[in-house]
Amino acid sequence: MELTKFGHACVRLEKDGRRLVIDPGGLSDPRALEGADAVLVTHEHFDHFSEELLRRAAAAHPGLRIRTTPSVAKQLDGLGPQVATTGDGDAFSLAGFDIRVHGAWHAVIHPDVPRIPNIGFLVDETLFHPGDALTVPGTPVDTLLLPVHAPWSTVGDLIDYVREVAPRNACAVHDGALNDIGSAMVEGFLGAQGPGVPARYHRPAPGASIRIG
């Protein structure tokens, strides 16, 4: 399986000629959806979900299938069978990929900020995208897509999260608001010079591809 990063929290997975895109949002390169067979959306925030991008992709490719939360699906009303909802504990196959859903809620930003639904996706029992939460899937993970910069977490939270999930690789996502200095600071704690995590940490550049599994 090949992973290509398309900015911020968006990645595209390719296997056997099929393409699965996760979280194409307002900070993503729209080219992520070119040739996509299926899309997963973790939650409704603009940096993970773009109604405009998905409606355009769905119109261009009637075979496109989208799986997401009820709140996102509501905003895609009118796309009929192209859109379906899913939630914690579900398991299904989509475009040749096996998906398991973990988690239910966005991480707490502040007690005065209402929480919204957020689901994470485990793909082919190999790669886990948690969206905006530090959900522990409770099953072995080879590659964790780690949200490295958000108003709801600290570097300490990330260290503990990677230790608990214990993946072989931790791949930085959710980094669209970080400059090079901020990225280097995060890597200093999560990389080889940090206090120690059971994963190889790396941050693919936008447009870069890596092999998974």
Q: What is the pLDDT of residues 161-209, one digit of tens each?
A: 999 999 999 999 999 999 999 999 999 999 888 898 999 999 998 899 9
In this structure, the strands spanning 200-202 and 209-211 are unpaired
Top-level class of domain 2-204:
alpha beta
What is residue 14's predicted lDDT score, i.e. its pLDDT? 98
pLDDT tens-digit map of 23-46: 999 999 999 999 999 999 999 999
203/176 Cα distance (integer angstroms): 12
Dihedral angle, C-alpha 131, 136, 137, 139, nearest 10 °: 140
What is residue 3's predicted lDDT score, i.e. its pLDDT? 97
What is residue 193's predicted lDDT score, i.e. its pLDDT? 82
Q: What is the mean pLDDT of residues 3-26?
A: 97
What is residue 213's predicted lDDT score, i.e. its pLDDT? 78
Domain ranges of the chain: 2-204
In contact, 171 and 191? CB cutoff 8 Å: no
What is residue 196's predicted lDDT score, i.e. its pLDDT? 87
Chain mean position to CA 138? 17
What is residue 122's predicted lDDT score, i.e. its pLDDT? 98
pLDDT tens-digit map of 80-123: 999 999 999 999 999 999 999 999 999 999 999 999 999 999 99
What is residue 50's predicted lDDT score, i.e. its pLDDT? 98
pLDDT at residue 137 tops 90: yes
What is residue 194's predicted lDDT score, i.e. its pLDDT? 87
Q: What is the mean pLDDT of residues 131-157?
A: 97
What is residue 187's predicted lDDT score, i.e. its pLDDT? 94
Q: What is the mean pLDDT of residues 4-27?
A: 97
Q: What is the mean pLDDT of residues 44-60?
A: 97
